[in-house]
Amino acid sequence: MKYQVIARKFRPQIFEEVVGQKPIVQTLQNAIQLDRIGHAYLFSGPRGVGKTTTARILAKGLNCVQGPAVTPCNQCHSCREIAAGQSMDVLEIDAASNTGVDNIRELRENARYAPSRDRYKIFIIDEVHMLSTSAFNALLKILEEPPSHVAFIMATTERHKLPATILSRCQQFIFRTISPLEIQSHLREIANREGIHIDDRALAYIVRAAEGSMRDAQSLLDQIISFSGQQVVDEDVRDVLGFIPGEILDQTLDALAERDSRALLNNIGIVLDQGLNLQQYVREFIGKIRDLFLLKLGLDEKVLGSADEKKALASRAERYSEQDLIRFFDMLLHLENDLRSTSQPRFHLEVGFVKLAKIGHVRDIEDVIRELRSLGPATPTHPSPPKESPPVSEKPTASPPGKTASASEPFTFADIYTRRVEEKSATTAVYLQKAARIEKTTDGVQIAISNGTAHALLESLEHKRVLDTVASELIGKAVSVSLILKGQPGGSGSQTEPKGENVLESAKQEPLVQRFLEVFRGDLAQVKPVKGE
């Protein structure tokens, strides 16, 4: 007998063997038991999660010689023929290759006649969304007034493409993706029955690649066994599926914790030297960040891997705050999307990772405020600072997690404001770090910023919204942020600058000032020199 692939060999033959679709299975079993058989069912959901398999089991349950039966016998002629796809009364139609109205008219004509032997004449229409509009209209007629001996079971991966008139005449069952733990458990059972020795990490790689599809997972297992034989180790699976070695991902996490740009760039070089895909590298690193976040939340059961692997991940998670991980996750998702269209993926990735390293760690603002209050009034250990706030282009950073701020390095308003902006938008924070000064005023918050950075900051109104929101939260009332452009007309060093009203008019002609007035929806009241600039 020819070899039978795992996906067919271990295809469920009764409802109890269907993995991950318990609510649907229970509903169909009850319908058979209570004799509440519908004339039209629609099974929708992702590929490889059991739609066609469940349709065949339902057909066997309805036409089994001992039925209608909740558990078909799988021994009678009807059950065996349905399982083999050879039944004269259970017709499987591929709508992808039978899309026309003539095909559906032929189906309607066939449905008029009674079953040749079985209890029901059942039509299983796979990928039903591929039917043409005229074919749907022809199908609608028989769905409205079906013969009592006919049942339709339709399956699709794209339910939204079906007309509402078809949907309203069907009992709809939405199949979900199968959880990683359920897939891993099922693959382990298959491996045991086949005498395959495979470790948990290798199974985890297969589960991750399957993305919730049991059929994909079974096909991948088949492929891996063909490569490795009866002994499967994680290195084999990783090489066949193109996964990134775990040690590279761990080294990336460590380098990011240390904010070591050189190590991050070295890791990217290693990935390329080994012929691995950069997008895959970013995708898997995002998965690592997600696992760290789940461990921080105490959701260990949601993370795939052995106890030792989880313990090692948990120790790395301690080096990051929840805000760090959320920010990394957000920036990495944007980075992965950008890599799809860039002509220089390596350079794009290198710059993106350096940005991750340079923007620093985030601490919860409430923790910072509590530390400040516990310190009480700071005793100056140096001469009083000048009235003007010092530039913050080299701002002191918050103490890393686990360390306490000291009185000699107090948190400034600029520190707290910048950290709060980072929590809301990492991109806005990158521009904010280039500000020459950030200080609280009676009317809100004032930020001195260079022309070049201002151009980038004004590309999106979202930046302005974030800046104003954080300012209002810290001051306790609705306020706006005032931006001061360095190098604009009115600087103290100009010898030919216009005077009086001419200053306003000259400033209003500047393209960047015009953009500011457009974004901030205001007018230019006055132009005055900025002290020390």
Please report which confidence band the pLDDT of residue 403 belongs to, taking 50, 70 and 90 as the band edges.
very low
Give me the pLDDT at residue 371, please: 59
Residue 361 pLDDT? 55
Q: How many CB atoms lie within 10 A of CB 271?
A: 22
Q: What total number of domains does the chain contain?
A: 3
Residue corresponding to tokens 């020795």: 197
SS3 66: coil
Contact 62, 122 (CB under 8 A): yes
Instruction: Look up the CATH number of the domain holding residue 186.
Output: 1.10.8.60
What range defines the domain where residue 282 resides?
246-358
- The reply to whether 495 falls in a domain is no
The string of DSSP letters for 23-57 reads HHHHHHHHHHHTT---SEEEEE-STTSSHHHHHHH
For residues 234 and 251, state if they share a domain.
no
Question: Which of the 8 DSSP states describes residue 15?
Answer: G
* C-alpha–C-alpha distance, residues 149 and 122, integer Å: 8
Residues whose CB falls within 8 Å of the CB of residue 406, separated by 6 or more in sequence, listed in order? none
- 470-482 burial code (b ≥16 CB/10 A, e <16): bbbebbeeebebe
Region 193-218: mean pLDDT is: 90
Helices (H), 154-306: 164-167, 180-194, 200-210, 214-228, 234-241, 246-258, 261-273, 278-296
Q: Tell me the C-alpha distance between 43 and 51, whole Å.
A: 6
pLDDT at site 243: 87
Instruction: State the pLDDT at residue 396.
Output: 41
Task: Please list, in sequence order, all residues whose beta carbon lies within 8 angstroms of the beta carbon of residue 121, skipping any fewer than 6 positions away.
Answer: 89, 90, 91, 110, 111, 113, 114, 115, 149, 150, 151
Is the per-residue pLDDT at 380 higher than 50? no
Has residue 459 got a pLDDT over 70? no
Q: Are residues 137 and 257 in the same domain?
A: no
Of 296, 325, 358, which residue is a domain's last?
Answer: 358
* Predicted local confidence at residue 512, as pLDDT: 63
Instruction: Give the CA dihedral 102, 108, 110, 113, nearest 10 degrees.
Output: -160
- Please state, in angstroms and rounded to a whole number, the distance separating the CA atoms of residues 205 and 238: 7
Mean pLDDT, rounded, for 451-456: 66
Give the percent of the chain with pLDDT over 70.
Answer: 79
Q: Which residues contact residue 355 at a Cβ distance below 8 angstroms, ignoring those fewer than 6 apart?
A: 331, 430
89 shares its domain with 214 = no
Confidence of residue 302 (pLDDT cuts 50, 70, 90): confident
Q: At 506, is the pLDDT very low, low, confident or very high (cuts 50, 70, 90)?
A: low
- What are the angstrom distances between the C-alpha of 518 and each of 412, 499, 503, 512, 515? 31, 25, 19, 10, 5
CATH number (domain holding residue 134): 3.40.50.300
Looking at the structure, tell me whether residues 322 and 264 fall in a common domain: yes
Q: Select from 358, 388, 413 the last residue of a domain.
A: 358
Higher-confidence position of 301 and 283: 283
Q: Classify residue 82 by its DSSP letter.
A: H
Evaluate if residue 497 carries a pLDDT over 50: no
When pLDDT is cut at 50, 70 and 90, the band that residue 261 belongs to is confident
Phi then psi for residue 112, to 5 deg, are -65, -30
Q: Report pLDDT for 325.
A: 83
**Across residues 336-343, what is the average pLDDT?**
86
Closest CA to 20 of 194, 185, 198, 170: 185
Per-residue pLDDT band for 379 (boundaries 50, 70, 90) equals: very low
* Burial (0-12, 13-18, 19+ Cβ within 10 Å), 158: exposed
Q: What is the pLDDT of residue 4?
A: 85
* Average confidence score pLDDT of the chain: 80
Q: Confirm if 238 and 217 have CB atoms less than 8 A apart.
A: no
**How many helices and strands (H and E) does the chain possess?**
24, 10
Model pLDDT, residue 394: 39
- Quote the pLDDT of residue 47: 92
What integer pLDDT is reported at residue 402 of this predicted model?
40
Average pLDDT for 6-15: 91
Residues 312 and 340 in one domain: yes
Domain identity same for 143 and 229: no
Same-domain check for residues 154 and 21: yes
Residues 6 or more apart in contact with residue 198 via CB below 8 angstroms: 188, 191, 224, 232, 233
User: What is the 3-class SS of 224-258, one letter each residue?
Assistant: HHHHHCCEECHHHHHHHHCCCCHHHHHHHHHHHHH
Q: How far apart are CA 103 and CA 120, in angstroms?
A: 21
Of 487, 490, 347, 371, whose CA–CA distance to 419 is shortest? Answer: 371
Residues 6+ away with beta carbon under 8 Å from 289: 325, 328, 329, 332
CA distances in angstroms from 232 to 23, 187, 217, 218, 319, listed in the order given: 35, 13, 15, 15, 34
Average pLDDT over residues 490-500: 41
d(CA 161, CA 156): 9
- Is position 287 within any domain? yes
18 and 150 both lie in a single domain: yes
Conformation bin of residue 448: beta by default, left when phi > 0, alpha when psi is -120 to 50: beta
Give the end of a domain, one of 241, 256, 271: 241
Angle 402-407-408 from CA coordinates, rounded to 5° = 105
Q: Are residues 202 and 309 in the same domain?
A: no
For strand 197-198 and strand 171-174, is the pairing parallel, antiparallel, or unpaired? unpaired
Q: What CATH number has the domain bearing residue 329? A: 1.20.272.10
Q: Are residues 20 and 80 in the same domain?
A: yes
Beta bridge partners of 40: 152
List the structure tokens of 280.
């895959």
Whether 84 and 209 map to the same domain: the answer is no
* pLDDT at residue 399, as a whole number: 42
Question: Is 447 domain-assigned?
Answer: no
In a domain, 234, yes or no: yes
